[in-house]
Amino acid sequence: DIQMTQSPSSLSASVGDRVTITCRASQGISNHLAWFQQKPGKAPQPLIYGASSLQSGVPSKFSGSGSGTDFTLTISTLQPGDSATYYCQQYTSYPHTFGQGTKVEIK
Amino acid sequence: EVQLLESGGDLVQPGGSLRLSCAVSGFTFRNYAMSWVRQAPGKGLEWVSSISASGAGTYYRDSVKGRFTISRDNSKDTLYLQMNSLRPEDTAVYYCAKWTPYSSGHYLGYWGQGTLVTVSS
């Protein structure tokens, strides 16, 4: 199975900050990676697919990059509504594993 | 508008069975692969199972193989997850999700709101 490791597990940042979350795969997954945002009590919402393509309707302050084993999700200007847990998921091979999540809080 | 509505979650004793349903609308169900993803209370997301558009291909995580069965009825626009021999560690919110294709793959582009399964005596 491919293991997905996110870092950090949590972070606290100020409004307006640039935030970067990393996701590392235990083996190469090409660009078969998605990022999801989940708020408490809600279903996950897709942000990024194909490692760097923005889901329709998602603000351009979210961006993704990477290929192979190392990936990043960047929030360019953090806003209070971005407080959530963020997950990466690989879909190159079964089981389609998720990272453990990164909880983003606003200072 | 794409909609996915899960149902069937309940409190069940260890060793019991439950069938989850996911009724969909807003897209041509028979053309898309589907998945179930779960989330234990306070924990992260965990992929459970996927099924191809035709239903011919099914995939499971190891911990549910032989106990869970994913299926679909393309005439009823409904996805199912039959869960047998349930264990306390199966306690979770179960989400159904629709695969969205793009040029070089497909990803979970739409999710339902989830249904809670609690396995406890």
Q: Do A100 and B111 touch (CB under 8 A)?
A: no
Average pLDDT, chain B: 97
Q: What is the pLDDT of residues A47-95, one digit of tens each?
A: 999 999 999 999 999 999 999 999 999 999 999 999 999 999 999 999 9
Q: Given this model, what pLDDT does residue B32 score?
A: 97
Q: What is the pLDDT of residues A19-38, one digit of tens each?
A: 999 999 999 999 999 999 99
- What single-letter DSSP state applies at residue A99? P
- Nearest by CB to residue B59, choosing from A43, A50, A94, is A94
Q: Given this model, what pLDDT does residue B35 score?
A: 98
Q: Given this model, what pLDDT does residue B82 score?
A: 98
Chain centroid to CA B58: how far? 12
CA–CA dist B48, B81 (Å, integer):
10
Q: Do A98 and B47 touch (CB under 8 A)?
A: yes
Chain A residues close to B52, C-beta within 8 Å: none
CA–CA dist B67, B57 (Å, integer):
17
**What does the buried/exposed string (b/e) look like for B75-98 if buried means 16 or more CB atoms within 10 Å of the residue's CB?**
eebbbbbebeebeeebbbbbbbbb
Q: Given this model, what pLDDT does residue B1 score?
A: 96
Q: What is the pLDDT of residues B63-90, one digit of tens each?
A: 999 999 999 999 999 999 999 999 999 9
Q: What is the pLDDT of residues B7-65, one digit of tens each?
A: 999 999 999 999 999 999 999 999 999 999 999 999 999 999 999 999 999 999 999 99
CA–CA dist A73, A89 (Å, integer):
12
Q: Do A100 and B109 touch (CB under 8 A)?
A: no
Phi and psi at residue A86, in whole multiples of 5°? Answer: -115, 135
